[in-house]
Amino acid sequence: MIQQIVFNMRWIFLVAPDGDQGFLTSDNPVSLFDAPHVDVPGTGFLSSPETYLTFPVSRDICLLLKHRAGVPQTVARVASAKVREVNKGTILRADTQLYAPFQSQKVQQLLDSVVNARPATKRVLIKKGRVVEE
């Protein structure tokens, strides 16, 4: 089912401008976004028509998928501001690791603040279908 949803989305290959530091990626490289304040039943890719995702595939190229039936796939050269916007979304959805073609104290600080703001992960052990330890 998810393969058909992704296949039917509009694929836009974002190309970073020459001289830009480029897209970064993370240990959670597919970043799924939804329109703010949308109360539509559904999960993930189908939560609303405004749902989109980004997936940096290289330093210079990021795949952007949107729900836009009948619109052809395209390649779009984007400004550095768009690259930074995509990178910020990638940072916010990273679990703990970033992989970047550049060093940046600002990026590191943003990642650290995002990771440290999350509640501590709890360990759950399930044995024979029952939770036995939390």
96-106 tens-digit pLDDT? 899 998 899 99
Distance CA 4, CA 122 (A): 34
Are the C-beta atoms of residues 133 and 126 closer than 8 Å to each other?
Answer: no
- Bridge partners, residue 77, by sequence: 15
**Digit-coded pLDDT (tens) for 46-76:** 777 788 899 999 999 999 999 876 778 899 9
Global pTM reads 0.79
Distance CA 86, CA 52 (A): 12
Distance CA 38, CA 71 (A): 23
The pLDDT value recorded for residue 87 is: 95
In angstroms, what CA-CA distances link 33 with 17, 44, 94, 111, 132?
24, 9, 13, 18, 34
The pLDDT value recorded for residue 39 is: 52
Give buried/exposed letters for 12-45 (b at 16+ CB in 10 A, else e): bebbbeeebbbbbbbeebebbebeeeeeeeeeeb
- Specify the residue for token string 């916007």: 85
